[in-house]
Amino acid sequence: MNIHRIGRDTSVLGDCLEVPGLGFLPVNAFVLQAAEPVVVDTGLGLPDRDFVAAVGEVLDPADVRWIWLTHPDRDHTGGLFALLEAAPRARLVSTFAGLGIMSCERPVPLDRVFLLNPGQSLDVGDRTLHAFRPPLFDNPATVGFYDDRSRTTFSSDCFGGVMPSAEVAAGPDVRVLPADELRAAQLLWASVDSPWLAAVDAGRFLAWVEPVRAQGAETVLSTHLPPARGILSALLDTVSGAPGLEPFVGPDQQALERMLAGFEPAV
């Protein structure tokens, strides 16, 4: 896991996964060192990841006051329960739907939960976090937020893209990619992660996009994209063209068997 500092008070805990045939998907979590520190998502749950140790590279986990879970998919919840144990004063920010989904796997202590819906805000001492529904998402519980002090939008899966290498995927700046490659990567990810775009009304969709543009964020932090600074308009222009996008169709069983036939058996 690579740790990058963005501005004065935000750290990116950068990780990635290889997607065979496509590239490398960033899987980021974030630490916002507000007066009441906030951890945004909790990474992968793979056996070789230690999310609490990664947080500890940035601040003492016991000081964490808020864990903002943008949605309860497994690439966002890997270190959740370990962090709740390591941060006894922290409360888990989610929605009613998110709480229900998480509870299907493991009971969530209700006295640790803080339910927050799009359109509401959270005061974390020295700034306010404004919750909103990102225009692209793959889970009904998705809630991102805009930090009005650092002018940063935390967009969950929205704006994601599969990167050409692990170094770029877990790197500090998406602008190392040429603009046309970034656009193609984002549209590919949108076709994978938001297949409902094929049936969406473009006008109604743009009504979700424009409030994000109005935020005027200087930095966009997505779970599935390296940090993006100074390019909000370009990111939104790409997303605005996504309605009607045909859903991604992955390999079938025959293709999988052909791929497996190309691997040497482990010794």
Predicted pLDDT of residue 267: 53
Confidence (pLDDT) at 56 = 97
Question: 5-59, pLDDT tens digit by residue?
Answer: 998 999 999 999 999 889 999 999 999 999 999 999 999 999 999 999 999 999 9
As a residue count, the chain comes to 267
Q: What is the 3-state secondary structure (H, E, C) of the chain?
A: CEEEEECCCEEEEECEEEECCCEEEECCEEEECCCCCEEECCCCCCCCCCHHHHHHCCCCHHHCCEEECCCCCCCCCCCHHHHHHHCCCCEEEECHHHHHHHHCCCCCCHHHEEECCCCCEEECCCCEEEEECCCCCCCCCCCEEEECCCCEEECCCCCCCCECCHHHHCCCCHHHCCHHHHHHHHHHHHHHHCHHHHHCCHHHHHHHHHHHHHHCCCEEEECCEEEEECCHHHHHHHHHCCCCCCCCCCCCHHHHHHHHHCCCCCC
Task: Using CA atoms of 201, 203, 207, 213 in order, give the dihedral in degrees to the nearest 10.
Answer: 110
Beta strands at 38-40 and 66-68: parallel, antiparallel or unpaired: parallel
What sign does the dihedral 59-62-64-70 (CA atoms) show?
A: positive
Section 111-115 average pLDDT: 97
Q: Which two tokens stand for residue 49?
A: 């990841």
Domains, the chain, with CATH or none = 2-261 (3.60.15.10)
- CA 80 from chain center: how many Å? 14
Provide the 10 A C-beta neighbour count for residue 62. Answer: 11
Provide the whole-model pTM.
0.94
Convert the pLDDT of each residue in 240-254 to its tens digit. Answer: 999 999 999 998 999
Residue 52, pLDDT score: 97
**CA-closest candidate to residue 177, choices 227, 219, 133, 111:** 227
Cα 119 to Cα 263: distance, rounded to the nearest angstrom = 49
Res. 99: pLDDT tops 70 = yes
Q: How many Å apart are CA 66 and CA 89, to the nearest integer?
A: 8
pLDDT bucket at 265, cuts 50 / 70 / 90: low
Mean pLDDT of the chain: 95
pLDDT at 105: 86
